[in-house]
């Protein structure tokens, strides 16, 4: 149990530091490159995301499970070879599509540079250390990547004319991670090599897809908006949308932390005391609502000031997108409870079917939103798509566990209203002062109404 706590803290802290480094990099790039340049690099990031998703295809989860089951590395060696074999043709396909369909020379070069990073990504052996529960080694690799990435950007990206260095920075960062993990692997007590045996690949993929299918579909859904905006509108619109999205994705650090707790917790309780699962999930939902609700309302109210502080006045149009997109974060946080409960109770295939339906819903809502309303429509499509996915997951989980609405939800709403009032009264004050005052008001109301107690938090975090 001590190792689990250390792994959780290692993951959470490293993710927080990495996202903080990424946050500074995003703010710097946005201010340096302007809306169109920032839009270009986010198209590149989106293409790389898709490339990594398709070159992994659940193989990461399968390899982790095999290592955790003390497999003698035979299958994982084949998995490493398969990942590399998938990455090469994926890069070639991206290069061909870029040549035929992207007619802006700079954008085409940006896409190719970012997409090239799929190759070092394919050689990541983070799944090996995750399977062995040595998360600190993965954390070191991620932090090195973030620092290399930020360093290259600060040294070489000074205007739109130097935008290609942003792509070089991504390749350098991912290559650094690959090298760090490879060095850790070389020092391990088990020898590892890449094995290329195509005859085994269909069977491996058959095992991998059910494990990673739902996550793949989820990632595909949320990353479709920048590509739709790039195809139907301009790089400027991609930049406006991405500025808002990056802030929301930074907040999803909380979602990652709760997910790390909920998946093993749900699986364990479902195995030893299934009647207690509903109560456990209700407590989790309560804490998630307590954090997500004020952040969503606060983000909606303070969006213009936050956007101007982070990106400058040239991104003022991003405020409306942030006001809408912040509710994607709210629905995702709640969705985490139901997603991890479904997987934890052994219903990953049901979860995969839900995510397949969700992917279609996302595509329709985002494309329709962009056609009708542009950037705000893309943000609405993402938020509405996540709300639909949440409803589908809630409906599915009802067959296996009941999660009542927390009794303190009305007190949370009261505290949020008080916080909103503080924002209005102090609207002319410094942004940070307003935020601190709002947080204090929210917390004091919760304590005064006994909606939350310190011992309850300690009880929730206590290993079951």
Q: What is the DSSP string of 358-404?
A: HHHHHHHHHHHHHHHHSHHHHHHHHHHHHHHHHHHHHHHHTTT---P
Question: Nearest-CA neighbor of 133 among 64, 194, 58, 180?
Answer: 64
Which residue's entry shows tokens 């009261």? Answer: 414
Q: Are 52 and 118 in contact (CB under 8 A)?
A: yes
- The pTM score is 0.83
Three-class secondary structure of residue 124 per DSSP? coil
| pLDDT per residue as tens digits for the range 63-89 | 776 676 555 556 667 888 888 899 999
Handedness of CA 128, 134, 138, 140 (dihedral sign): negative
Q: Are 82 and 201 in contact (CB under 8 A)?
A: yes
User: What is the reported pLDDT for 402?
Assistant: 76
Handedness of CA 286, 389, 293, 244 (dihedral sign): positive
- Alpha-carbon distance of 261 to 257, in angstroms, equals 7
- Alpha-carbon distance of 370 to 323, in angstroms, equals 16
Q: Are 104 and 221 in contact (CB under 8 A)?
A: no
pLDDT at residue 297 is higher than 70 = yes
Lowest mean pLDDT among 134-148, 318-332, 339-353, 369-383: 339-353
User: What is the reported pLDDT for 60?
Assistant: 74
Q: Are 385 and 266 in contact (CB under 8 A)?
A: no
User: What is the reported pLDDT for 11?
Assistant: 59
Tokens standing for 214?
């739902």
Q: Under 8 Å CB-to-CB from 379, ≥6 apart: which residues?
A: 225, 241, 244, 245, 320, 321, 322, 324, 325, 328, 369
Give the pLDDT mean for 29-49.
94
Tokens standing for 387?
């709300």
| pLDDT per residue as tens digits for the range 223-235 | 899 999 999 999 9
User: What is the reported pLDDT for 464?
Assistant: 43
Q: How confident is the model at residue 407 (pLDDT cuts 50, 70, 90)?
A: confident
Q: Are 40 and 105 in contact (CB under 8 A)?
A: no
- Alpha-carbon distance of 219 to 60, in angstroms, equals 15
Q: How confident is the model at residue 125 (pLDDT cuts 50, 70, 90)?
A: confident
The angle at the Cα of 147, spanning 142 to 148, to the nearest 5 degrees, equals 100
Radius of gyration of the chain (CA): 22
- Alpha-carbon distance of 420 to 33, in angstroms, equals 34
| pLDDT per residue as tens digits for the range 129-161 | 776 667 778 888 888 999 999 999 999 999 999
pLDDT at residue 253 is higher than 90 = no
| pLDDT per residue as tens digits for the range 8-21 | 555 566 667 777 88
- Alpha-carbon distance of 284 to 397, in angstroms, equals 15
Three-class secondary structure of residue 223 per DSSP? coil
Tokens standing for 84?
């590399």
Lowest mean pLDDT among 202-206, 304-308, 451-455: 451-455
User: What is the reported pLDDT for 463?
Assistant: 45
Question: What is the end-to-end Cα distance of the chain in Å, rounded?
Answer: 10
User: What is the reported pLDDT for 196?
Assistant: 80
- Alpha-carbon distance of 172 to 120, in angstroms, equals 9
């Amino acid at each position: 149990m001590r190792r689990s706590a250390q792994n959780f803290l290692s993951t959470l802290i490293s993710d927080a530091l990495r996202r903080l480094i990424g946050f500074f990099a995003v703010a710097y790039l946005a201010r340096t490159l302007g809306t169109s340049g920032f839009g270009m690099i986010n198209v590149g990031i989106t293409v790389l995301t898709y490339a990594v998703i398709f070159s992994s295809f659940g193989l990461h989860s399968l390899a982790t499970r095999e290592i955790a089951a003390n497999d003698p590395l035979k299958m994982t060696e084949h998995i490493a070879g398969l990942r590399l074999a998938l990455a090469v043709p994926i890069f070639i396909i991206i290069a061909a599509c870029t040549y035929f369909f992207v007619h802006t020379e700079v954008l085409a070069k940006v896409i190719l540079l970012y997409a090239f990073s799929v190759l070092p990504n394919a050689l990541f052996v983070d799944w090996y250390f995750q399977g062995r529960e040595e998360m600190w080694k993965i954390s070191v690799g991620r932090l090195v990547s973030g620092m290399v990435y930020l360093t290259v950007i600060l040294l070489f990206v000074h205007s739109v004319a130097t935008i290609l260095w942003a792509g070089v920075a991504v390749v350098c960062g991912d290559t650094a991670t690959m090298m760090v993990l490879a060095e850790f692997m070389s020092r391990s007590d088990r020898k590892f090599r890449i094995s290329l045996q195509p005859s085994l690949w269909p069977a491996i993929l058959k095992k991998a897809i059910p494990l990673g299918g739902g996550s793949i579909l989820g990632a595909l859904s949320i990353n479709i908006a920048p590509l739709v905006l790039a195809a139907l509108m301009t790089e400027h619109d991609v930049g406006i949308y991405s500025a808002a999205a990056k802030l929301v994705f930074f907040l999803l650090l909380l979602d990652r932390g709760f997910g790390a707790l909920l998946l093993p917790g749900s699986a364990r309780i479902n195995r030893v005391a299934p009647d207690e699962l509903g109560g456990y999930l209700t407590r989790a939902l309560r804490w998630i609502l307590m954090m997500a609700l004020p952040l969503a309302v606060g983000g909606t109210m303070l969006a213009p000031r936050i956007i101007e502080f982070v990106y400058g006045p040239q991104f003022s149009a991003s405020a409306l997108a942030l006001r809408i997109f912040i509710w994607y974060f709210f629905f995702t946080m709640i969705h985490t409870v139901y997603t991890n409960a479904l997987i934890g109770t052994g219903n990953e295939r049901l979860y995969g079917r839900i995510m397949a339906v969700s992917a279609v819903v996302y595509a329709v809502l985002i494309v329709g939103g962009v056609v009708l309303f542009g950037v705000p429509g893309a943000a609405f499509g993402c938020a509405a798509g996540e709300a639909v996915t949440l409803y589908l997951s809630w409906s599915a989980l009802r067959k296996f566990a009941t999660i009542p609405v927390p009794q303190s939800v009305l007190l949370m709403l009261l505290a949020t209203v008080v916080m909103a009032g503080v924002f209005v009264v102090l609207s002319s004050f410094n942004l940070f002062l307003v935020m601190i005052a709002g947080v204090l008001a929210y917390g004091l109301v919760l304590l005064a109404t006994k909606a939350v107690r310190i011992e309850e938090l300690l009880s929730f975090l206590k290993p079951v």
